[in-house]
Amino acid sequence: MSENLIDRFARDYQPGDVLFREGDPGDVMYVVQAGSVEIRRHVGDRERVLAVLPPGEFFGEMAIINERPRSATAIVREPARLLVIEGRTFEAMLRGRVEIAVRMIKTLAGRLERANQQIELLLLPNANHRVVQCLRMMADEQLAAAGGGSPDSQVYLPVDLAGLATRVALAPHEVEDVLARLAAAQLVTTAAAVGIEGPGYVIPEVGRLLEFLEFLELRDRFG
């Protein structure tokens, strides 16, 4: 996209700005040029953060494609510059730029796969299984982003307790109990314990976590 087009569509937003709310009608989509945006959705009686979108990500396109109300709420997390694209312009871009259409298809396919994984995660029967499976999924994501890894790879997961609890739909104290047991077994440790600044957890050896997950699956199957 040319600089002139970027200037034409770009708008600046401040933290806390609500771009749209769940249930609103939608006639524009957004592309994150700078900053970040939280995507939130009501689950039961609570609003949960589903994703934090960094530069390069787009969102809000489904309301244009299927002409249905917004399925989530979008709130600016940090000072952001966004491209705001109307439905007619969006359709013209897809028809005129094959590379944009291909990128969007790949991104939507990735989102569908992650959504399916999240559904499978939430169907797991107990807190131990949910947390360990979630850690495994996040480790796979980090390894894929780094180009792969071996069973003895150490992986840093940049997520805090609240974020992890949101992903597994459990209370923070339940997740904390599971993490304490995993830490006692030396399967997980905090980022601070290994000298990494900021929130997060470290899996010292991904292979050992996978072995523990297999043990949980066998225990659940055979008692």
1.10.10.10, 3.40.50.150, 3.40.50.720, 1.10.3720.10: CATH of 125-222: 1.10.10.10
Asked if residue 81 has pLDDT above 90, the reply is yes
| Token pair listed for 132 | 């360990």
Identity (one letter) of the amino acid at 105?
I
Asked if residue 205 has pLDDT above 80, the reply is yes
Domains 3-120 and 125-222 equal at CATH topology level: no
Helix axes 127-145 and 206-222, enclosed angle (nearest 10) = 150
Strands 58-59 and 28-43: antiparallel
The Cα-based distances of 149 to 8, 131, 136, 157, 181 in angstroms read: 42, 21, 13, 15, 25
User: Domain map of the chain by residue range?
Assistant: 3-120, 125-222
- CATH number of the 3-120 domain: 2.60.120.10
Asked if residue 87 has pLDDT above 90, the reply is no
- State the pTM of this model: 0.54
- pLDDT above 90 coverage of the chain, percent: 13
* Distance from C-alpha of 197 to C-alpha of 75, rounded to nearest angstrom: 26
